Structure 1
Amino acid sequence: MRNLPWCHPRPLVPSSKPSHDGDRRKQISVRGIAGLGDVAEVRKSFNRHLHFTLVKDRNVATPRDYYFALAHTVRDHLVGRWIRTQQHYYERDPKRIYYLSLEFYMGRTLQNTMVNLGLQNACDEAIYQLGLDLEELEEIEEDAGLGNGGLGRLAACFLDSMATLGLAAYGYGIRYEFGIFNQKIVDGWQVEEADDWLRYGNPWEKARPEYMLPVHFYGRVEHTPDGVKWVDTQVVLAMPYDTPVPGYKNNTVNTMRLWSAKAPNDFNLQEFNMGDYIEAVLDRNLAENISRVLYPNDNVRKNCYEKSFGADPYPIPMHAGHCQSARTETSKSVLQVAIQLNDTHPALSIPELMRILVDVEKVDWDKAWEITKKTCAYTNHTVLPEALERWPVSMFEKLLPRHLEIIYALNQMHLDRVAALYPGDIDRLRRMSVIEEGDCKRINMAHLCVIGSHAVNGVARIHSDIVRNSVFKDFYELEPEKFQNKTNGITPRRWLLLCNPGLADVIAEKIGEGFITDLSQLKKLLEFIDNETFIRDVAKVKQENKLKFAAYLEEQYKVKINPTSMFDVQVKRIHEYKRQLLNCLHAITLYNRIRCNPSKSFVPRTIMIGGKAAPGYHMAKMIIKLITSVGEVINNDPYVGDKLKVIFLENYRVSLAEKVIPAADLSQQISTAGTEASGTGNMKFMVNGALTIGTMDGANVEMAEEAGEENLFIFGMRVEDVEALDRKGLVYNAREYYESLPELRQAIDQISSGFFSPRDPGCFKDVVNMLMYHDRFKVFADYEAYIKCQGQVDQLFMDPREWTRKVIRNIACSGKFSSDRTITEYAREIWGVEPSATAIPPPNLPRN
């Protein structure tokens, strides 16, 4: 064997890894005990895949080959369960749930699969015996970054919970060839690079060309005696790729089906026959561009082709899979299906389902509309007006003419009903119309979702109240029974067991393992809030996580930080409403205080901010530049030393979140009250033992209720205060705050004068101008309260025992924020199904 570093038979293993030789740390029950048979089987399967699947031996294999061999080994344990699960659904014929989302931000799959199958210790031991390191192999896997942020990551958590709860559920989305861009920071500026996540292949997916479906565009509509026909269309084929989604130790493996655009063989055949071969091939590429890249704007209108492609295939397989009988069975079979629309992105599923029922299956229009509404439900994810999608009618006329006809007809039915209930109220009709008149006639996709669904939900209680009382007030008055709340949640498998095994072990020692599938059992930890041993163990785990992350930062970012400092973390998409600028102003204020009195004792703090800005979002990119510029000045000031560091975490993604969240002491959730629908990062920090500094916004409100407001650092305006500022005569005046708060004025003057950008003094003029004259999110109004609250954070951090007691209380009270609880509520109150507590029998695996 060649003497390669990854081929050493017994490499040096970090002390944090599980014990194999007796002198290393013994693992407790949450990761299970590696049986000798399991270890031998994994080792044998690994070598088999290296030889037969990858066609390599240990002399020439690379670390990536070893990752793929392990991935195929773990996948083998999925396949039998996957097939058995689908057989089980076929035999029992339960109601199917189709979760439609244009984004599934899955991250890495290997470790999550090992955790859910209970294989992690066996794989760790087997890989160690082979002279390799499991953590190093896990790091080779590319993140499946098929989402922009919270919405896509929520969808991933929901898939995990639906499988764990035994629901017959399917995630439907688009298989983007390029996911969310890789972010590089060059001279302080964000630079986007393509995320070619499929470059080396994806061992987890299975192409299903036999289930390829046609998706129609353009053409014209003919109304004939035999019904409506959509003719002369251009066809793009939708090729499905299936990925297994395992539940936690229940033998259930559900399916995420992602669609890829393929040009049919006869695409532009006319040009081909005329000899224009190159043109014909290039046009094929145009068709396939539909699923080429994730559109990287989370709060603006997405690529129209992408969305119409994404919506079109969804109902077809649902219908085909359950309509084996004659046309008369259509209504019965479709009602065996629930479709959940994850925001407005898949809104076209409503007219598409109508088209299939009316045009293809010849169902009566009124009956088809009844079926569609009973089948579809809509989740709203935002209250920002610019994020509520509106599509030009002129685009629809060309691209999807039959769908436009259906939308017009549905809107007329809807407005007739409104007019009958509110005669003469023309303003109400205008507000509630799906079609918005004006210079550019547009379709309001959120209104389409509301009228076409039997249930509409927000994603946190405060958000759902805003949806009822403001965003969809007229619709709520019309159909109050339709509106619900479903507070978001996170899966405890990935966001505790996987990313923070040390904390999971400490918890399991006290209350057992039941919390992994019933997070409410964390309440039992309240009994140990004054237990000195438990306090010490929780604090020790946090410090170990901080040391590990500090080492990661030093290796990856070449930045040395003080691991005993407070890790103050804000990681999320960069957006004005999330107010990374408020965090930045606090960093500048701390810096000025240290510079003013360098001999004074300060609580050492490492401020970490991470997130991607949409490529076309100028202000978000300027915010990143400001953060990096402030960090460059502070981090290189000898007067500051280790008292304060400002780090921008480049290329924030799921795998980085799994490292930084367990290490965080303080979680920044500081959006303007009434703007963040829910947030899920706030929940991840809470369950991993970080204390929250935040406004009463989104799920922060319910977190404060669960743990007690005194156990979070709550500051600033409430929703009613923001609304009061927005009323006529009480206009938000940033200059008043600027002139009355000396520390704020000093910070703004420094930014404006070029103190943080000496080579380009006018660099941040747009940022200052926005803050002073055009700030919709009222940063200055909360500055004073925020700075004062940060002083309370410092004071508590100086008392490690009391800090850790509050950490334990927060962990103990985080049980509500499990996606298992959220999905159980969706199942019972929207989809009309009951989660199954019974595990599917294990498969009869074929013998070699």
Structure 2
Amino acid sequence: MRKKSNSPVLSNSNNTATAIKVEDDRTGMSRETLKRAFLDNLFYIQGVDQSNASKYDYYVALAYTIRDRLLHRFLKSVETYKKNNDTKLVCYLSAEFLMGRHLGNNLVNLDIYQEIKTVIKELDLDLEELLEEEPDPGLGNGGLGRLAACFLDSLASLEIPAIGYGIRYEFGIFHQLIRDGWQAEVPDNWLKFGNPWELARPDESVEIKLGGHTQNYHDNQGNFKVSWIPDRVVMAIPHDTPVPGYKTNTVNPLRLWKAEASESFNFDAFNAGNYDRAVEEKINSETISKVLYPNDNTPAGKELRLAQQYFFVAASLQDLIRIHLKNNPSLDNFHDRIAIQLNDTHPAIAVAELMRLFMDEHGMGWEQAWSITQQTLCYTNHTLLPEALEKWSVSLFEKLLPRHLEIIYRINHFFLEDIRSWYPGRDDLVDQLSLIEEAEEQKVRMANLACVGSHAINGVAALHTELLKKDTLKAFAFLSPDKFFNKTNGVTPRRWILLSNPALSQLVTEKIGDSWLKDLSQMKALEKYADDSDFGQQWRDIKKANKETLAQYILKTQGIQVDTNSIFDVLVKRIHEYKRQHLCVLHIITLYNRLKRNPDLDIYPRTFIFGGKAAPGYFMAKLVIKLINSVGEVVNKDPDIRGRLKVVFMPNFNVSLGQKIYPAADLSEQISTAGKEASGTGNMKFAMNGALTIGTLDGANIEIREEAGEENFFLFGLTADEVYQRKAEGYYAMDYYEGNEELKGVIDSIKDGYFSHGDTELFRPIVDSLLYDDPYMLLADYHSYIECQKQVAITYRDQKKWTKMSILNSARMGKFSSDRTIREYCNEIWNAKSVKINLES
């Protein structure tokens, strides 16, 4: 890339102001103003000019140029919300916000992507190269954080007053390396060079109490009161990131909290020569926001996790009360002005904290505080796995949050009194509903706390919500069926089509206009082109170009040459046994064994692409990653295969990598055991970009199949009801192994060390799990999966048919825009309305 322009106008940044036409509006959108601002920021913020600027310098200069244009809208949005007394603010509390890179998305939403591309090109620079310089903040683990990011985008695009609250983790989800086929975790130091998008707001910091004890007293009016005397206080420092809507003036904040010590330096300790103790409080306090999801296998790890959750919830609720009291004389109407959504159980402590703030800090009585708390809070459940429903020991609560434990006990007392009076003799109901689990070690059930303290409970796909009511939260559904809603997840088409797949976006816009980006249901108009041969060819050309781009990236990063004429068969998501990445591996080995028996077999070439991270302490998931890489090592090098099968594991799957992969996929693997996946959002991103789905009737797959049409979906496997039934009757995996010769050969090849250099012990845990337990019923679904994959290959040979199916999949995915999801939340749960932002007023 050339770093110095030969243009006399631009050769000296000191002359920029006089060489380029000066405009009164320093945040204007004209090409000249953008160019001047970019060069000014390069010089005055980065302290370099074009003769010695690095790519990163250029990126930062461009980031500040765009941020300046967001701030006008940001401040106007805040000002408008303050002036409008009946505005209802939506507050999204989430431990994760997997936002992805900001620069490209902000250019798209400000509708200046092409203008900036031209400006950058005129300076002999490449915008795509500058976009790659931005770190991808890993402030989330997967779907939960990605959903939160999509929701913030849709809230701003729909002009809904909103704020996202979370933690400004210094280190996000680990950076994944693959060493000898194994996952290796290294720190994700995304803040190493700073963050040009955020605005620190130290003047709005709040104090967070931890530990200590409570003290009872009576106030001057004789009212019983409780005071919490902490043993330490941590400061929460807010950092705001502007989140713009698409082609709107609305810019809402994502407010992330950083932990700091209230007194960061102990002079007495320092002067006494105890240098470690002098900074001990600073280190201990900052640990709270140091890393996403610290390992909780130890007591110290558990305490840190709970401290993290309380830290961001307590800071956010104090902030909301401050915001409310600026425009309202009291907290009596708090629930009319603020809706708080709890994104899973991580922020469930908000129930007790809001009660504490109302009563202990603002003098409210119990009944009023409880009524307002319930009317304010809403709870989204994201899991059907019992182990994912958080529980914290009572002893940990006593140590860290003594006042909250008292409040939880009192909530539970009144709640269970009601249950016993309504349903006498139903001890089973009492046991299921209690906020306290009476086991060997008493624990606080955070999901139960969230259910009791919220006026709305929702699942994230139709099947998921039904299974919540039928099983996971059955007792609460029996007690309050009117509390339960379904809000099927969605993703933003701006990032996941427009930014990720510009060629496809341009083709769609040429045919039906651009309003589909604000109303994805309009994509349905593409159906009339499904049989148009010219349109079909254009559709295929775009897919081929996307595959070639990904193939080049794979070659560059992994050193693997892949055939772009092959089926790009993709499975990218968090690595977990229930997501069944190893079922896909069984298919690869099946095809491999067939080719080994008959090298001249007519088999359609496939490139299997995997990506995803395993939790650091999840041994089986990490072993699955090793298995994928070990199978790839054998298959990719075997001359008998002649390149017809390739296996690629792409390390460090994140938002940016997803933007490369989804548009290039032919086949989307959504193969979790039916009844285990809450929803999924990757399945939506694939389908929007024209990939066909092979999947079970699980999560949002069911609704994707309903929308796309049964004939445009490759279905296999047991249903959720059949899974429950088989397990109830007694499921014996060995019966499937003994009864299917091909499956037996596949398992035996793993067991006998064929893919582990003769080591028969390496993959024994996977083999033993499959043969003697198989909790996720891979072997029961194996035959159905293999037969379905055969149908995939047959269909792909008929490119005209495949293309039509692909077009119809994209055209019919309107339901899965996060705009639709947010509209449903606004209308049915939050009672929130849009507010227009007028920049001229």
- Please classify the TM superposition score into its range, dividing by the shorter chain length: over 0.9
Residues 169-568 of structure 1 aligned to structure 2 (within 5 Å): 169-226=162-219, 227-265=225-263, 271=269, 276-295=274-293, 303-324=305-326, 329-568=330-569
Change (3 A) 1:9 1:292: farther
> Aligned partners of 1:49 and 1:112: how far apart in 2?
20
Q: Which amino acid aligns with 2:80?
A: H
Q: Is 1:79 paired with 2:71? A: yes
For normalisation by structure 2, the TM-score amounts to 0.94
Report the AA paired with residue 236 of structure 2.
Answer: A
Which residue does 2:107 correspond to in 1?
114
Distance 2:601 2:669 in 1: 26
SS of equivalent to 2:800: helix
- Decide whether aligned partners of structure 1 residues 325 and 590 sit closer, same or farther in structure 2, where only a CA change above 3 A counts: closer
Amino acid at match of 2:288: I
Aligned to 1:842: 839
**What does 1:619-768 align with in structure 2 at a 5 Å threshold?**
619-727=620-728, 730-758=729-757, 760-768=759-767
Partner in structure 2 of residue 149 of structure 1: 142
The answer on whether the counterparts of 1:148 and 1:297 sit within 8 Å (CA) in structure 2 is no
Task: Please state how far the C-alpha of 1:315 moved relative to its aligned partner.
Answer: 0.9
Q: May I ask how many residue pairs the two structures share in their alignment? A: 811
Paired residues of 1:391 and 1:444 also in contact (CA < 8 A) = yes
Identity score, percent: 49
Paired amino acid for 1:761: T
1:21-72 deviation line (CA, Å, top 9, x unaligned): xxxxxxxxxxxxxxx9722222111110111111101121111101111111
Q: Assess, with a 3 A threshold, how the Cα gap between structure 1 residues 750 and 82 changes in structure 2: closer, same or farther.
A: same
Contact 2:457 2:484 in 1 (8 A): yes
Structure 2 residue 141 is matched with structure 1 residue 136:
no
Aligned twin of 1:814: 813
Q: Which amino acid aligns with 1:113?
A: N
Within 1, Cα distance between the matches of 2:323 and 2:270?
36
Aligned partners of 2:294 and 2:305 also within 8 Å: no
> Residue 267 and residue 442 in structure 1: after superposition, are their counterparts in 2 closer, same or farther (change >3 A)?
farther
1:734 and 1:591 map into 2 onto residues whose CA distance is 23
Q: What whole-Å deviation, never above 9, does each CA across 1:211-256 have from its counterpart, x for those lacking one?
A: 0100000111111012111114310000000000000011110000
Q: Using a 3 Å threshold, how does the CA distance of structure 1 residues 218 and 373 change in structure 2: closer, same or farther?
A: same
**Residue in 2 aligned with 1:20?**
none
Extract unaligned runs of 5+ from structure 1.
Answer: 11-35
Alignment of 1:776 onto 2:775: yes
Asked whether the 8 Å contact 1:296–1:615 carries over to 2, the reply is: no
Partners of 2:718 and 2:2 in 1: how far apart? 56
- What is the aligned counterpart of 1:54 among 31, 36, 46? 46
> Deviation at 1:75?
1.1
Q: Does 2:799 match 1:800? A: yes
Report the secondary structure of 1:304's partner residue.
helix
CA–CA distance in 2 between the matches of 1:585 and 1:485?
Answer: 35
Hey, what's the Cα distance between the residues in 1 that align with 2:157 and 2:654?
24
Distance in structure 2 (CA, Å) of the matches to 1:153 and 1:272: 44
Q: Is the 8 A contact 1:239 1:261 kept in 2?
A: yes
Q: Does structure 2 conserve the Cα–Cα contact (< 8 Å) formed by 1:463 and 1:698?
A: yes
Identify the range of structure 1 (380-389 vs 75-84) with the bigger mean alpha-carbon deviation.
75-84
Distance 2:186 2:793 in 1: 39
Conserved 8 A contact 1:7-1:132: no
Q: Per the alignment, in what secondary structure is the counterpart of residue 643 of structure 2?
A: helix
User: For each residue in 1:335-380, what CA deviation from the matched residue of structure 2 results, as whole angstroms up to 9, or x when unmatched?
Assistant: 3110000000001111000001011111110010000000000000
Structure 2 unaligned spans of 5+: 8-27, 220-224
- Contact between 1:148 and 1:298, CA under 8 Å: does it hold in 2? no
SS at match of 2:51: coil
Any idea what SS the aligned residue of 1:347 has? coil
Query: Could you tell me which amino acid in structure 2 is paired with residue 765 of structure 1?
Result: R
Residues 590-599 or 514-523, more deviating: 590-599
Q: Is the CA contact 1:81–1:251 (under 8 Å) kept in the aligned structure 2? A: yes
1:520-576 per-residue CA deviation (whole Å, 9 max, x = no partner) reads 001111111111121111111101101111111111111111011110000000000
Higher mean alpha-carbon deviation, 244-253 vs 292-301, is at: 292-301
**Deviation of the 1:196 alpha carbon:** 0.3
Query: 1:267 offset after TM fit, Å?
Result: 7.1
Partner letter of residue 780 of structure 2? A
- In the alignment, is the contact (CA less than 8 A) between 2:3 and 2:52 conserved in 1? no
Question: Are residues 150 and 298 of structure 1, via their aligned partners in 2, closer, same or farther at CA, if it must alter by over 3 Å?
Answer: farther
C-alpha separation in 2, matches of 1:543 and 1:303: 45
How far has the Cα of 1:273 moved from its partner?
Answer: 7.3
Following TM superposition, by how much is the alpha carbon of 1:269 offset from its aligned partner in structure 2, in angstroms? 7.2
1:585 matched to 2:617? The reply is no
Secondary structure, aligned partner of 2:589 = helix
For residues 56 and 177 of structure 1, the distance between their equivalents in structure 2, rounded to whole angstroms, comes to 27
Instruction: Report if aligned partners of 1:84, 1:843 keep a CA contact under 8 Å in 2.
Output: no
Deviation, 1:725, is: 1.1
1:405, distance to aligned residue in structure 2 (A): 0.2
Please give the alpha-carbon distance, in whole angstroms, between the structure 2 residues aligned to 1:267 and 1:313.
Answer: 23
Q: Counterpart of 1:146 in 2: which secondary structure?
A: coil
1:584 to partner: Cα distance: 0.4
Q: CA deviation at 1:510?
A: 1.0
In structure 2, what residue type is equivalent to 1:623?
V
Q: Distance in 2 between matches of 1:601 and 1:283?
A: 68
1:23 paired residue number: none
Contact 1:181 1:296 in 2 (8 A): no
Greater displacement, 376-385 / 50-59? 50-59
TM-score after normalising by structure 1: 0.94
CA distance in 2, matches of 1:296, 1:591: 40
Q: 1:672 to 1:534 in 2, by over 3 A?
A: same
Contact 2:88 2:833 in 1 (8 A): no
Check whether the contact 1:9–1:132 (CA below 8 A) recurs between aligned residues.
Answer: no
8 Å Cα contact 2:264-2:282 kept in structure 1: no
**SS of structure 1 residue aligned to 2:293:** coil
Three-state SS of the structure 2 residue aligned to 1:508 is helix
Do the aligned partners of residues 404 and 732 (structure 1) sit closer, same or farther apart at CA in structure 2, a change above 3 Å counting? same
Counterparts of 1:797 and 1:298 in 2: how far apart (Å)? 46
Instruction: Please identify, of 826-835 and 163-172, the stretch whose mean Cα deviation from structure 2 is larger.
Output: 826-835
Measured in 2, the distance between the counterparts of 1:420 and 1:274 equals 63
Kindly provide the amino acid, as one letter, of the partner of residue 829 in structure 1: E
Residue 19 of structure 1 corresponds to none
Distance 2:81 2:833 in 1: 14
Deviation at 1:439, TM superposition (A): 1.2
1:598-620 per-position Cα deviation (integer Å, ceiling 9, x unaligned): 11221110001110000000000
Q: 1:406 to 1:274 in 2, by over 3 A?
A: farther
Is the 2:620–2:766 Cα contact (8 Å) retained in structure 1?
A: yes
Structure 1 residues 263-272 or 493-502, which shifts more? 263-272
Change (3 A) 1:298 1:380: farther
Contact 2:5–2:50 (CA<8 Å) still a contact in 1? no
